Structure 1
Amino acid sequence: MPTWFGPEQSRLFGVVHVPAGSAARAGVVICPPLGRQHLDTYTGLKLLAQRLCANGFAVLRFDYSGTGDSMGDQGRDSAIDDYLESIRTAVAYLCASGVRSVSLLGLRAGSLLAATAAASITGVDGLVLWDPATDGRRYLREQQVLYKMTVGGDEPSEAEPDMVPLLGITLSANAAAALRALKMPAVVESASVLVLTRPELSDDRRLADLRAADNCTVREITGQPEFVEPPSIVVTIPMATVATIEKWFDANLPSETVDFRPVFADSAVAQELSDGRSVTESIVALGPNRLFAIRTAISGVAEGGPTVLFHNTACEHRVGSGRIWPDTARELAALGVNVVRYDRRGVGDTGIATTAYPWIHSAEAKADVTDVVEALDVPSDRLMMTGICSGAWNSAYAALRHGAKSVVLLNILLYSVRRTDGASERIAKVTDAVAGDQPTEDTSFWKIVKQGLRNWLPYQGWLVLGRLGYTQAPEVLLRALAKRGVETELVLSPSDFEWYEGHRGPIGAKRLARRGWAPKLTLAPSGDHAVLHRGLQNLIRRYLVDAVRREFADQR
């Protein structure tokens, strides 16, 4: 059950897993990691919550203040203190719902935050530190190095001179200093503590005092890099570790149950405007499969008016890299439009979490895209859609099926109208990780053939192959959108523009221009494909604000 909870002026988003019969043995608060690791582990933590709930525990997954779908600015100087207060608020929410025993589970940076917060929470009965970050200084340094390796570095901009960009989150310099100062407590006031650490980190000196405590058990685990730092879009959930956690809670927490009656809130105020109106977010279920979605709008704005729909990227849930979608949604809603972000099946908070990989362009995924647009029931001349990579393709697909006023395609790679299961995975070179297969000589042969086709095949032949779905000829998708009457705009990072050029996009654009159909193309000066780059995130937000003002100038 999704809900907002906590202080009215700074509501937190969470999902409560209510045990059968509303009879709970105890409460468990899951403290997630930060940034990119939060996105990658979202399904794994949901699956763990489901299993704990099946064992009779009331479980709360939540977003810290200023992160995920919770309210607040991620760049506040008080961010770290706000995270700690968020944990205390989460515990208080479960206690107010009826549980008498509460435990904390933290993953990576969430472990450091959970252990720190536990000192100020009375009666924490259990604490699980899963692959803990034990030193804020070392953790921050590692994340900064990863950021530079992934996006090529990002010097502070004139617009944000005091911000520290990390993978998937941006902190103020003061908040970064507060995170740097955090250290794993030598003593944790909890009845029982379980530390799950990687073998190569088992001699971490900051775990030595905990290891020596009578109330602490330390165990080595494997499979963490594939879970919290996956090399591709495929995240492998370490089920052996999940089972270990499940058994530990079952053995160390009460078996006697109490009545558990949480209070749910399906809406929250995100922002108070200067004219007295409020930007409000509401939890909704869309389509026959009840896809989880959040609608952002000014209070009193009716559904069916000008609407912007965000399609999520790959297997990321509706928050997106760097929290781009909630932040953008709240800014756009202040302009007087409805904004919707959602999770397709197998992703985020739609349906039940499993270990199965949610293919990006399966028949099921395409059905979800169609279902969302139909459920919104917005006239095509009042609908704008956008998304990154596969989310961009889904925007185009929905526009071709339903119609739309415009689409903004961010870092799109796939330009074929004919999509098959696993197409995005093959483009992203992760098919082997998904299917467990090994590369073959045949695969290498076709890579050589396609490279030769790009270099030597006349454009008309390239276009024919694109129409058949064998190549990525941008003209195929862009022409289809133009014929459908959809205003199309491309925003591409440098690497995505290289892809566009390498697949003969400029030739197609010139051909379309002769008929007045050429899309608007914006090349970002820097940034990466996954939009982890802070500068690119800011550019996209500004671009979408300008696009909404332009497209809906007469309708708002």
Structure 2
Amino acid sequence: MQQGNYAGIPGQAMWTRRGTDALQTWIHTPVDGQARGLVLLAPPVGREHIQAYRSNRQLAMLLASEGYCVARACYRGVGDSHALEPDQNVVEAWRQDLLDTAAHARQVCGTEELPVWAIGHRMGATLLAGIAEHFDHVIAWEPVAGSVFVKQWSRLRNATLPDIPVGDRVDLMGLCLGNEQAAQLSSLRDPRKLANLPEHVAIFREKDQPRAKVMYGVESLDTRVHYDILDQLIRMLPRPVLTPVGGDGRGPLRNEFTAPTGVECAEEIVRVEPKDYMGVLTGPVLTDKPGRPIASWTDKPVTFYAPGASEPRDGSALWSETARELAGHGVASLRADRDGAADRAELWADRDPNPYRHANAQAMREQAQWLNNHFNSTVVATVLCSGAWDTLCAAREPEGIPVEGMILLNQNEWRMKQEFFDELRKTYDADARLHAAALTSRQAKEELARPATPRRDAVKDKVAGAASAAQSVLGAVKEKGSYALRHYAPEPVWNLIARHPEASIADYILDRASRNARVVLLVGPQDEPRYRETLTPRAVARLTGRGRDIREEYLPNVDHSILSRTARDVVVTRVVELLSQWEGRSPANG
């Protein structure tokens, strides 16, 4: 193996299996061509897959730096892997995915004669417990019973999205199962309660469960990597001597499949210049060209995606699903991570970066330019929430963004000042909330322990009452002033205000974005109040009256982050309709 030719600590993606059963696997290897063996990482599923993504990736890089080859698995129906079929037994399918990933990883790493260990996180731990005989050592990290997982996420979905119908299925927020599949998953017992748990399976569960949940069970912007826990996991693994291995940790970069429409398609793991980060290009293949290159059909655009927050490129499998659906209708697309997110995260980074950043605007510009360099076709941005903000920010800057169209999903924040979001970002820290809760509890106990002083308490009450009254008066004045400004300010004054990055006003931003591009605004019910509050419909009416190509649509049953299955069906259908009917500029060449 040549020095520097292997996957390395940051890792390299590859395809395990082919066609519509393909899985995306990430391989991480030591830098010197020697390894102690292979570690399979079985991640959580559903929304927890996204929330724990950074923790599992950082664990993989740390393991590789300690001399282990590492394979990060991705199940069918999760992340960049292909979909799980409705009639498949979910437990059998996911366990087979883990076994196939381990076998393929051993082959490409050249570790067939070395031990293979496994670390499973949450449902990954529970799945591994049933196939533990295939591994030399298994660590079940924060295992959970299937019934508990299904109940927790179905209840959370129903509590947070009560107005969006579920239909005849079990929606677990980013993972949707048929009723029989949900029953299959629910049948898995917590490994801690198994009477015949194999001796080589070790349970690892933190005593401080609220802290443990910060790595998998809070909002993605709240998650925090606890490196002391990752260190404990690494120390639980056997540590044999390093042995030279014969593989480079690199596998197939291309997978071909046939779309339901009958169109021959492919997806390739590509490097996006100029910073050479990983992306996935999906689209129809040109069967009459050597090598069957990926390219959009004549007069079809190419597109790229960006999820909300700082989440991985697949967006809880929303964009991988959309990409494959679009490929069957002749449209090629790219999905890649933004700066510092998912597989662009640096080692020792313990939390996702603020998604509202100028660095992310640059990432959107780079992805658009990459598509322009590789395809002679119209480039359209298909972006959600903060991804829409990043794209609009790029369009607002002098350099602009080389796209001829934008599909903006649930875009309702028009403020372009990064410092505003930097301050707001400080509240997105579950660890800080835990510390604050502990401090508040301690202060409350100290206050209760202090002897009561009537005079002191009376003074405190008067001061608090005066402050509250003043706050109410100021709030009322501010609200009336804001209403008057928004509804009665002359248009030139309003447009001047809109230019300021502090202002959350659509007029100036949409003016810049629509100068050389068609803009489509897709708005769900959760975002409609804020969308109207910022007077975006008025901005759209003004600009379309001047000849700009701006359209707005109000989509039913769409939650803000598009986590419900119903919302995803609506969005995928509408995006496919828009892009398959979009008028491209010329035949696309690979």
TM-score (norm 1): 0.85
What are the within-5 Å matches in structure 2 for residues 209-358 of structure 1? 223-231=211-219, 233-249=221-237, 252-261=238-247, 262-272=249-259, 275=262, 277-300=263-286, 301=293, 303=295, 306-321=301-316, 323-350=317-344, 352-353=346-347, 354-358=349-353
Structure 2 gap ranges (5+): 1-11, 287-292, 437-466
| CA displacement, residues 102-155 of structure 1 (integer Å, 9 cap, x when unaligned) | 111111111111112224x2xx1211111110x222221111111112222643
Which residue does the alignment assign to 1:204?
Answer: none
Q: 1:169 to 1:517 in 2, by over 3 A?
A: same
| CA displacement, residues 288-323 of structure 1 (integer Å, 9 cap, x when unaligned) | 2112210001122555873111123221011103x1
Question: 357-366 or 323-332: which moved more?
Answer: 357-366
Code of the residue aligned with 2:534 in structure 1: it is H
Which residue does the alignment assign to 2:16?
Answer: 5
The whole-number CA distance in structure 1 between the counterparts of 2:331 and 2:220 is 35
Q: 1:553 to 1:80 in 2, by over 3 A?
A: farther
Q: 1:259 to 1:187 in 2, by over 3 A?
A: farther
The whole-number CA distance in structure 1 between the counterparts of 2:329 and 2:106 is 39
Structure 1 position 338, deviation (Å): 1.3
Structure 1 position 394, deviation (Å): 2.6
CA contact (8 A) 2:284 2:295 kept: no
Code of the residue aligned with 2:39 in structure 1: it is V
Which residue does the alignment assign to 1:415?
Answer: 414
Structure 1 position 448, deviation (Å): 7.8
Which residue does the alignment assign to 2:505?
Answer: 473
Residues 1:98 and 2:111 aligned together: yes
The whole-number CA distance in structure 1 between the counterparts of 2:36 and 2:548 is 62
Which residue does the alignment assign to 1:182?
Answer: 188
Q: Percent identity?
A: 22
The whole-number CA distance in structure 2 between the counterparts of 1:85 and 1:369 is 36
Q: 1:373 to 1:238 in 2, by over 3 A?
A: same
Q: 1:156 to 1:357 in 2, by over 3 A?
A: closer
Q: 1:520 to 1:285 in 2, by over 3 A?
A: same
User: Counterpart of 1:254 in 2: which secondary structure?
Assistant: coil
Structure 1 gap ranges (5+): 200-219
CA contact (8 A) 1:74 1:171 kept: no
The whole-number CA distance in structure 1 between the counterparts of 2:119 and 2:163 is 32
Q: 1:291 to 1:20 in 2, by over 3 A?
A: closer
Residues 1:359 and 2:354 aligned together: yes
Structure 1 position 260, deviation (Å): 4.6
| CA displacement, residues 362-382 of structure 1 (integer Å, 9 cap, x when unaligned) | 332222222222222257961
User: Counterpart of 1:129 in 2: which secondary structure?
Assistant: strand
Q: Max radius of gyration: which structure?
A: 2
Code of the residue aligned with 1:481 in structure 2: it is A
The whole-number CA distance in structure 1 between the counterparts of 2:575 and 2:363 is 24
The whole-number CA distance in structure 2 between the counterparts of 1:93 and 1:177 is 30
User: Counterpart of 1:478 in 2: which secondary structure?
Assistant: helix
The whole-number CA distance in structure 1 between the counterparts of 2:395 and 2:125 is 43
Question: 503-512 or 310-319: which moved more?
Answer: 503-512
Code of the residue aligned with 1:283 in structure 2: it is I
Which residue does the alignment assign to 2:440?
Answer: none
The whole-number CA distance in structure 2 between the counterparts of 1:149 and 1:429 is 26
| CA displacement, residues 260-294 of structure 1 (integer Å, 9 cap, x when unaligned) | 5145111112435665x521110111122112210
The whole-number CA distance in structure 2 between the counterparts of 1:19 and 1:260 is 13
Code of the residue aligned with 1:228 in structure 2: it is Y
Higher RCO structure (Cα 8 Å, ≥6 apart)? 2
Query: Pick from 41, 62, 75: which aligns with 1:64?
Result: 75
| CA displacement, residues 356-413 of structure 1 (integer Å, 9 cap, x when unaligned) | 5422233322222222222222579611111110111233344561343321110112
Structure 1 position 225, deviation (Å): 2.1
User: Counterpart of 1:127 in 2: which secondary structure?
Assistant: strand
Query: Pick from 182, 189, 195: which aligns with 2:203?
Result: 195
Which residue does the alignment assign to 1:113?
Answer: 127
CA contact (8 A) 1:309 1:341 kept: yes
Which residue does the alignment assign to 1:202?
Answer: none
Residues 1:393 and 2:389 aligned together: yes
Q: 1:43 to 1:421 in 2, by over 3 A?
A: farther
The whole-number CA distance in structure 1 between the counterparts of 2:50 and 2:209 is 21
CA contact (8 A) 1:233 1:430 kept: no
Which residue does the alignment assign to 2:546?
Answer: 515
| Residue correspondences, number | 519
User: Counterpart of 2:418 in 1: which secondary structure?
Assistant: coil
Which residue does the alignment assign to 1:205?
Answer: none
Code of the residue aligned with 1:507 in structure 2: it is R
Q: 1:435 to 1:61 in 2, by over 3 A?
A: same
The whole-number CA distance in structure 2 between the counterparts of 1:326 and 1:498 is 29
CA contact (8 A) 1:222 1:238 kept: no
Which residue does the alignment assign to 1:210?
Answer: none
Code of the residue aligned with 2:111 in structure 1: it is G
The whole-number CA distance in structure 2 between the counterparts of 1:288 and 1:320 is 23
Q: 1:429 to 1:148 in 2, by over 3 A?
A: farther
Structure 1 position 195, deviation (Å): 1.6
Which residue does the alignment assign to 2:524?
Answer: 493
CA contact (8 A) 1:26 1:253 kept: no
User: Counterpart of 1:229 in 2: which secondary structure?
Assistant: coil
Code of the residue aligned with 1:98 in structure 2: it is T
Residues 1:39 and 2:50 aligned together: yes
CA contact (8 A) 2:377 2:584 kept: no
Which residue does the alignment assign to 1:166?
Answer: 172
What are the within-5 Å matches in structure 2 for residues 432-451 of structure 1? 451=479
The whole-number CA distance in structure 1 between the counterparts of 2:535 and 2:511 is 14
Q: CA RMSD in A?
A: 3.1
Structure 1 position 527, deviation (Å): 3.0
Q: 1:505 to 1:72 in 2, by over 3 A?
A: closer
The whole-number CA distance in structure 1 between the counterparts of 2:246 and 2:423 is 43
